[in-house]
Amino acid sequence: MALQEKERPKTRKSPEPETEDEAQLSAEETKGVEVAEESGEEVADFDISKADLTALEREVLDIAEEILKLKRYEAKLEVDREETLNPLADKLFATCIARLANAKGYSKSEIFLTLKELERKNWIVTGQRRTRGEILESDVMQGVLQIIEDSPGIHARDPLIQERLGITRNPFTKHVMTLSSFGLIRIEKLGKTQNYFPLSSPPELDELFVVLQNDLCYQLVQKLINNPGTGVLDLARDLGVFHGAIQYHVKKLKTLGFLNENLQVNLEIAQRYNTYAKIHSLTLEKLL
C-alpha cells in the first residue's frame, strides 16, 4: 500500500467481471452469503484482532481475503481516487459493491471510504496477497511476533530464532519485512545491524535492549546487580575475559544511563527494561 498504518467518490457503473473465472468467483461469493442467511446459522465471533473495526470494515476484509488471491492482477492496492484505482483495487471495489450495496444496504461511497480506511490502517497493503487479519492468524507469524515481543531488539542472526521457531535467517527476515509492511513491528538499524522491536516497546530503550542481548554484557550487569561494588578487574577475572572488553561494555552502559560512575545499576531503568524484555530479563531482587 502507498500508506502505512476519506475523499468522496463519484458514482459510476460497476465494471463487469473480466473473465469467466472471476464471474464464477463473484457468483460463488454471493451464493455463500445467501445460503448462510437463509440457513439462520449463527455467525462466529470475529477475531479479537478485528475488535476495533466497523461491521463494514470486517465485511470488506472478508471479501479482500478472496480477491487478493487473484494472481491475474498485480498485487498493487493504492486507494486514492475512485477514477484512478489500479486493476486489483478496482476489482475489490466492484466485488464489494456487488455483494454489499444491495444485499446489505451500503452505498458505494461508504464502501470506497472503507477501502481507504483499511489501507490507512494497514489492513490491506500493496505487495501482499493477504490481509492483516490473515497475517495475525498465521502460526508462523504469531511465532515471529512473539519472539520479537519477548526479545525486543532481536536480529536475524540470533540463534534463538532457530531454537524457538525452527527457521533460518532468510525466512525470518522475509517474515519480519511482511510484518513491518502491515505496521505490526518496528525495524531500526543500530550500528550495522537491523533490529526488530514490538510496537509496545519504548524507542528510548532500543539501544539498551540490543546491548543486553550480548551475553558478556548481560552477565556483567547481572554480576553488578548481585554483587554491588564489584570493579572492572574483578568482573574481568570472574567472567574470564580481558578487562578491556569489560571497559567497553561499561562505557556503553554508562552512556545509556544504565550504570553510574560507581558501576551502580539504575534500578528505575532496569525495571522498565524488564517490563518488556522477557527472554533477557534481569534478576533484580538484590536491588529491591
144 pLDDT higher than 90: yes
CA-based angle 68:70:72, to the nearest 5?
Answer: 125
pLDDT at 254 (0 to 100): 96
**What whole-number distance in Å separates Cα of residue 128 and Cα of residue 132?**
9
Give the Å distances, CA to CA, from 38 to 26, 31, 34, 35: 19, 11, 6, 5
273-281 mean pLDDT: 96
Of all helices (H) and strands (E), which one includes residue 119?
Answer: helix 108-120
**What whole-number distance in Å separates Cα of residue 183 and Cα of residue 49?**
14
Q: Which residue has the higher pLDDT, 20 or 153?
A: 153
Tens of pLDDT, residues 180-221:
999 999 999 998 899 999 999 999 999 999 999 999 999 999
Give the Å distances, CA to CA, from 107 to 14, 43, 88, 111: 12, 23, 20, 6
274: Cα separation from own chain's centroid = 21
Task: Give yes or no for a contact between 217 and 224, defined as CB atoms under 8 angstroms apart.
Answer: no
The DSSP code for 273 is H
3-class DSSP string for 172-221:
HHHHHHHHHHCCCEEEEEECCEEEEEECCCCHHHHHHHHHCCCHHHHHHH
Q: How confident is the model at residue 83 (pLDDT cuts 50, 70, 90)?
A: confident
Q: How confident is the model at residue 82 (pLDDT cuts 50, 70, 90)?
A: confident
Q: Which residues contact 163 (CB under 8 A, 6 or more apart)?
A: none
| Of 151, 285, 146, 141, the residue nearest 222 (C-alpha) | 285
pLDDT at 191 (0 to 100): 87
pLDDT at 49 (0 to 100): 63
* Region of poorest pLDDT, from 3-17, 76-90, 210-224: 3-17
* 39, three cell numbers: 440457513
Q: Look at the block and give the residue holding cell 498493487.
A: 76
4 pLDDT higher than 80: no
pLDDT at 43 (0 to 100): 35
* 244, three cell numbers: 578491556
DSSP string, 27-79: HHHHHHHHHHHHHTPPPPPPPGGGTTS-HHHHHHHHHHHHHTT-TTS-S----
138 pLDDT higher than 50: yes
pLDDT at 40 (0 to 100): 41
35 pLDDT higher than 90: no
24 pLDDT higher than 70: no
